[in-house]
Structure 1
Amino acid sequence: MRRLSSTVVVVAGDRAPDVVSALDGLHNVRAITRGERPAAEVTETVTRARATYVVHDADPLADVGAAWADFFDGTAPTGGLEVAIEAALTGLRGDRLILPDYYVVLDPDDLPATRRHWWLGVLAGAAPTRVVPAPASAAVVGEMLGHLAPGRWWPDDLDGWLRALPQAVPDRVGLPRDPSMRG
């Protein structure tokens, strides 16, 4: 998986396209909205962009996050999460998808509980400073860009981390494991 010289930020949430498009024109920011384009096409645009910050709304793990939430909400078809994980891994290995340096999650308190656990539990548990909650405001997100904290990158064993997601239970993600509860 490749990493870029620009700081790549995915803005996620219902108002992400509006927030991202409003960031276009900021100094050192290249804003890219997905629209109807496939994620791989957005990835190609992101890799060609030359700016300090490349901000977009094409989350490479969107299908995994939706499948994870559906899995734990009991609304997913059997095997749906596993299929989404394997598709994401294939896209990441083939450089058709790129993990961002940061996720800015808009209005996480307004999300359904399981989706909130995806963002602030699963993803933040894997890379704590790489997931940042924010109000759905281009001014706030634009201001945050220069203040993003460095921290641990996504897990080195991306395959193992993603394939373990069916065991990453909401409300328990990120909690220390009790050694007496081993099975």
Structure 2
Amino acid sequence: MRLSSSTVVVVAGEEARRVVAGLRGLSNVRAVTRGDHDPEEFADLVRRGEATYVVHDADPLAEVGDAWVEFFDGVSATGRLEVAIEEAVGALRADRLELPDYYVVLDPEDMPATRRHWWLGVLAGAAPNRVVPAPASAARVADALGGLTAGRWWPADLAGWLRGLPRVVPDKAGLPGGTA
């Protein structure tokens, strides 16, 4: 359960840690990088945000996203995606996992196709205004924060949405009827 009224933003991509660190010092942003804190301290810093935006680099769906990409690229071990999904569902139910208000995805045009489909298809299809592409620059991400708009929240039935991911085909993700 979120204790703060801050807008929580996950910055995702190869340069996420560097970009988040570059946001430190902005008056309305608390920028926290996961690698600088133990898990409990990190969770506490995110939960008790005292700024307009709490921005960090710890994607709560990273394992699910990685497993989905590997599943559709044909390189995952059997059952890896299902295990990642069930772990996420369990963490959601135990309040150990909470989706951010927004994702800012760095340089999606430079990502491999299936990874790009995860961000701009699967996640953006679930909550269209909640996934924002941006160049890998702290200044450009700061600009993106100022332009965030309200939109549909994540699916009400997160467990059902997560369990449906194995049927979401990459090049159809985010489109009506985008399942296999």
TM-score per shorter chain, which class? over 0.9
Task: Calculate the aligned-residue CA RMSD, in Å.
Answer: 2.0
- After superposition, what is the alpha-carbon deviation per residue over 1:50-100, rounded to whole angstroms, capped at 9, x for unaligned? 111000000000000000000000111111001111111222222222210
Post-superposition offset of 1:8:
0.2
Amino acid at match of 1:105: V
- After superposition, what is the alpha-carbon deviation per residue over 1:131-150, rounded to whole angstroms, capped at 9, x for unaligned? 00000000010122121010
- Show the counterpart of 2:66: 66
Change beyond 3 A, Cα 1:92–1:2: farther
CA distance in structure 2 between the aligned counterparts of 1:38 and 1:167, rounded to whole angstroms: 35
Residues 4 and 50, structure 2, Cα contact 8 Å, conserved in 1? no
Change beyond 3 A, Cα 1:18–1:42: same
Residues 43 and 97, structure 1, Cα contact 8 Å, conserved in 2? no
- Show the counterpart of 1:134: 134
Post-superposition offset of 1:49:
2.1
- Answer yes or no: is 1:21 the counterpart of 2:21: yes
Change beyond 3 A, Cα 1:87–1:55: same
Identity %: 68
Change beyond 3 A, Cα 1:116–1:53: same
Post-superposition offset of 1:41:
4.6
Local SS of the residue matching 1:155:
coil
- Show the counterpart of 1:6: 6
After TM superposition, the score normalised by the length of structure 1 is 0.92
Mapping for residues 145-164 of structure 1, pairs under 5 Å: 145-164=145-164
More deviation, 10-19/167-176: 167-176
More deviation, 70-79/3-12: 3-12
CA distance in structure 1 between the aligned counterparts of 2:112 and 2:43, rounded to whole angstroms: 28
Change beyond 3 A, Cα 1:42–1:161: same
- Show the counterpart of 1:51: 51
Change beyond 3 A, Cα 1:130–1:39: farther
Aligned pairs, how many? 180
CA distance in structure 2 between the aligned counterparts of 1:36 and 1:25, rounded to whole angstroms: 16
Local SS of the residue matching 1:54:
strand
